[in-house]
Structure 1
Amino acid sequence: MIVIPGGAFNRQWGFIEGQAIASRLNNMGYTAFVLYYRVKQEPVLPLAILDMVNAIKDIEMNHKSYNIIPGEYMIGGFSAGATLAGEIGCENFGYKVNGIPKPQAIFLGYTAVSMKEFYGIYSSLPDGHPGRESIAAFLRRVGGPCFTEETLAPFDLPSHIGSDFPKTYIVANEDDGTVPVSNSRLMDRCLTGLNVPHITKIGTRGGHSFGLGNGLPVEGWLEEAVKFWRES
């Protein structure tokens, strides 16, 4: 299992969305890797995608040292980390163009997949609105300092996936004030339309950055995701 923390491509929530997840997976009997990738650049994509691809190649190349079965893996992430995890299944930056094994499954935690939606929200907010600058900072790290719809378009995941996208487990909360839950619902609709096996679990409360989701309605999602992965 490869776990990718989020942090808006500005930082990485390595404990809540990395080490804690890996520790739980270890307790379940799985080898887990936490991926730390490049951040704080404008743009940082596709560089961070390259970091993910290179990590997978390294793990595959050294599978004997890690005592794992090559090609047998699930990858997932949270928020911006889920943006990266989703890209591994896309047509323009994914496993096919990079010559790496297709993930057996992906998990997407409160994922940011729709750059079209983020750009739309940004464009609708007036100058000086705190939310506008917050979204702009994220979009600069995706599409560059002078981002446009065109520079963001390559990273709009729903626009670049097909029916061979890996089976996917999606988890998010209705009251997420950072990444609208509509991103997760959009991904759910896309996968449904493509007949890609998937599970979507939406909690009623818990906000953003909930990690394992202890004490929340979504608690147990990781165990469900692993079970989904291991099912044939």
Structure 2
Amino acid sequence: VLKYRVGQGGIVATQDLAAAIAFIFRQADAPGVTTRGYSSRGSPAGARLAASIGSYGVARFGGADLPKPSAVVMAYTAYADISSGEPPTFVVVGDQDGISPPFAMERRVRALRRTGTEVVYRQYEHVGHGFGLGVGTSAEGWIEEAIRFWRRHQSR
């Protein structure tokens, strides 16, 4: 979990994420730390940060010249930027999300697929914005599915 600066625009927050990723890479030799096949995940504002790192990499936001994440996991946010070499992306949203409605998520999904990016898109019935772990809803289990998706791409 990353605490990042808010109220200063998305670039500042993404710079905080880039700095955190660079810090983890600097600690890669420490016991229990690995950077192999890392993923970038977030919801909802955090998903924009995660996707930005996936789109442009850490260096673009002031971090070191590091590999892009092996996968991005985005929960209920609309993010439009697309670059070359997007990582595989797992996307979730509730069908009743009035803040980040499915149509906004679907635009990104279509754009990613047009670039040849592998995308898993899940829209859950009777779920609104901010469903978290999804416990007791149709979204229950989405975290486990996202982890399996990431693990398939870890060797990237």
Question: TM-score normalized by structure 2?
Answer: 0.88
1:73 aligns with 2:38: yes
Structure 2: where are the runs of 5+ without partners?
none
Aligned equivalents of 2:17 and 2:113: distance in 1? Answer: 26
Shift of 1:182: 1.6
**Runs of 4+ that moved beyond 3 A:** 95-98
1:108 aligns with 2:74: yes
Contact 1:80 1:112 in 2 (8 A): no
Amino acid of the structure 2 residue aligned with 1:197: E
Aligned residues: 150
1:227 aligns with 2:145: no
Shift of 1:219: 1.1
> Which deviations, in whole Å up to 9, do the C-alpha atoms of 1:24-48 show, x marking residues without a partner?
xxxxxxxxxx01100123xx23111
> Which deviations, in whole Å up to 9, do the C-alpha atoms of 1:158-210 show, x marking residues without a partner?
xx322x10101000011001122222111110111111111000011110111
Q: Over aligned residue pairs, what C-alpha RMSD do you find?
A: 1.6
- Larger fraction in helix: 1
Contact 2:93 2:102 in 1 (8 A): yes
Structure 1: where are the runs of 5+ without partners?
1-33, 115-156
1:213 aligns with 2:121: no
Secondary structure in structure 1 of the residue aligned to 2:140: coil
Aligned equivalents of 2:110 and 2:59: distance in 1? Answer: 23
Question: TM-score normalized by structure 1?
Answer: 0.61
Aligned equivalents of 2:108 and 2:59: distance in 1? Answer: 20
What's the % identity of the aligned pairs?
Answer: 35
Aligned equivalents of 1:54 and 1:167: distance in 2? Answer: 22
Amino acid of the structure 2 residue aligned with 1:53: A
Contact 2:10 2:49 in 1 (8 A): no
Tell me the residue number matched to 1:84.
Answer: 49
